[in-house]
Amino acid sequence: MAGHLEVARTPDAIYIRVVGLGNFNNAGPMREYCEKAFEEGMRNVLVDLAQCTGLDSTFMGTWMGFANWESPNNVPVTVTIVNPAPPTLRAMNSLGIPKILHVRADPVAFPDCKLQHLQEGWQDKKRRTVLIRDAHMALMQCDKENEARFAPFVAALVKEVRALDEQRE
């Protein structure tokens, strides 16, 4: 069960439609796409889960990283999640996502904009490891209950990133 993302950018927001699974394979390209827009001043992200069949913790943690984005003028990024099915809403609740991000369970019409397919997957092991580490650190920051769940995993990822850096030297 693969997944992909469809994205668009308007003057008001970044729009992301998750089709199938939202996971670590498509979280990296989503992060790159959004961070480029954030650097250009964009501060609103709308994620549509109407066609989403599942979410992993890296994908959800990447959203949390958006909410913590450091902008030069301290204008926060607003992330709104719309149209979650009951299983995706349960997954988000289990990690405390609705405590921080705007989650609308009632049906929301997705704006009429031209979406493009966002290429998924990263080949670079270090970038993928950093993405997974950052996502899980963001999850631990958003909900203290996630610390018990992810702290050993994050510690292992920190060591792995260090080892990958040493291999390149």
**pLDDT value of residue 122:** 66
- Mean pLDDT, rounded, for 43-66: 95
**pLDDT value of residue 110:** 82
Question: Which position has the token pair 């704006």?
Answer: 111
- φ, ψ for residue 156, nearest 5 deg: -65, -40
CB of 168 closer than 8 Å to CB of 93: no
CA quadruple 37, 39, 45, 48: dihedral positive or negative? positive
Of the listed ranges 40-49, 65-74, 86-95, the one predicted with least confidence: 65-74
Torsion-angle region of 5 (φ positive above 0: left; ψ -120 to 50: alpha; else: beta): beta
Correct CATH for 3-121 of 3.30.70.3040, 3.30.300.10, 3.30.750.24, 3.90.110.10: 3.30.750.24
Q: Which residue has the higher pLDDT, 15 or 111?
A: 15
**All structural domains of the chain with their residue ranges:** 3-121
Where does the pLDDT of residue 169 fall: very low under 50, low under 70, confident under 90, or very high at 90 and above? low
Residue-wise pLDDT tens digits, 100-129: 999 998 889 888 889 999 987 666 888 899
DSSP tag of 3: E
Q: Is residue 18 packed enough to be buried (19+ CB in 10 Å), middle (13-18) or exposed (0-12)?
A: buried
Question: Which position has the token pair 């959800």?
Answer: 60
Q: Please, what is the angle between helix 125-142 and helix 57-67, to 10°?
A: 70
Give bridge partners of residue 162 from the DSSP assignment: none
